[in-house]
Structures are given as structure tokens and as C-alpha cells.
Amino acid sequence: MEAMIVGISGGIGSGKSRVCRFWSAHFHLPLIDLDTICRSLLQPGKEGWHALREAFGNRFLATDGSLDRPALRRAIFADHDLRRRLDGLLHPLARRAMISALAAQAASGPLLVEIPLLVEAGWQEDVDRVVMVYAGIRQRCRRIMVRDQVDGPEAMRAIGSQMNLADKALMADHVIDNSGAWFDTCLQVIHLGRLLAGR
């Protein structure tokens, strides 16, 4: 029997990466991270880097040829059309790399895949279960401010650049509420992990 593929998503500041790391460590499950895949694709000389350079020239490249991530981040949050154009370039490359990574796994239990834009990219058919990590806007804003060292308005612009998280949660098979204490979140993850593993 093929392993169940669990796609875990959320919104910026919802805590999906922390949930994924805990889930993977607690149940000793493999975790594939689409952000890591995308970072690899955008290394100088890689497919994503070439696609970005062909589309935008040196606009988002540092003097050494590496990706200027802060500049790209600011542009994405400020320009929805640019974001859609960038997604159109990178999503097919990232999806192909994700499918290859999944095929290389030989796990008997569920396979966890962290996909920040799972719903937006329309990749629901690539996974067996969609899990959304939810948190309220205030909690997300505070987390972004601390993590990225930005002010409140910039954190809110980042949140506003993404699809409404409550709408995304309604499209999921399961929801982890990460609005409260981390201990409460962990209990939800353990319960859901056992449920999906058939324990």
C-alpha cells in the first residue's frame, strides 16, 4: 500500500513550519519542505534562477549573482501581478521537484509535505489529505514582526498579500488551530497524527 501524502499548509505567521517540524519529529516521519525546494531552485545556475533572470533580468539579483531575497520579498508583497508571474515561473519547477522527492521516499507511514501555497497553486490533487494550520491575524502579525524584524504595517501587508486563511481552512480536510498555547497545538497534532496513521 502506498504511503499517505499529507499536505500541510497555512498562511504567513500561522506557525505551519513549527507544526511540521514537531509532527515529523514526534512520529519520526519524513518531511519535504517546498520552501527548501524553492530556495534550492533559486540558487545561482539552477532552473529557477535562470527562469527568474530571463524574466526580470538582474532586478532581483545581488552583485554576486545570488538572489536578493529581501528585494524580492518586498516586491512580491507590494505587487500582486509580479507575484502571479513569479508563481507561474516557479510553481511547475517546484511541483516537479516535489513529486520526485516523494517518489524517492520509502516510508511505511504518512509522508509530510509543507506546501505554503498548496491551495493557491491548486495542488490538492497531489496529496491525500490537506491540513491547514490556522492562527488569528493578531497572532500572525506579532509572529511576523518578531521573526522578520519588521513593523506592524509591513507585517500586515505580508498577510494581506495572501489568500484569506479562514477561507483556506474551509477548503482543508483537517485544521490545526495554532492561535493559543503551543502545548494545545501539540495535542492537536498528536491526535491528528495518530488518526491519520490509523493508531
CB 33 within 8 Å of CB 20: yes
Does the pTM of the predicted model rise above 0.85? yes
Can you list the alpha helix ranges (DSSP code H) found in the chain? 16-27, 34-41, 47-56, 69-78, 80-103, 118-121, 137-148, 152-160, 165-170, 182-197
Q: Could you give the count of Cα atoms lying within 13 Å of 179 in the half-sphere of its Cβ?
A: 10
DSSP H/E element including 112? strand 111-114
**pLDDT, tens digit, for every residue of 90-111?**
999 999 999 999 988 876 679 9
**pLDDT, tens digit, for every residue of 111-128?**
999 999 999 999 999 999
**pLDDT, tens digit, for every residue of 68-94?**
988 888 888 888 889 889 999 999 999
Domain boundaries, the chain: 1-30+110-199, 40-104
**Could you say which DSSP state residue 116 is in?**
T
- pLDDT value for 2: 75
The answer on pLDDT for 1 being more than 60 is: no
Can you list the alpha helix ranges (DSSP code H) found in 79-151? 80-103, 118-121, 137-148
Fold of the 1-30+110-199 domain: Rossmann fold (3.40.50)
CA–CA gap between residue 130 and residue 6 (Å, rounded): 6
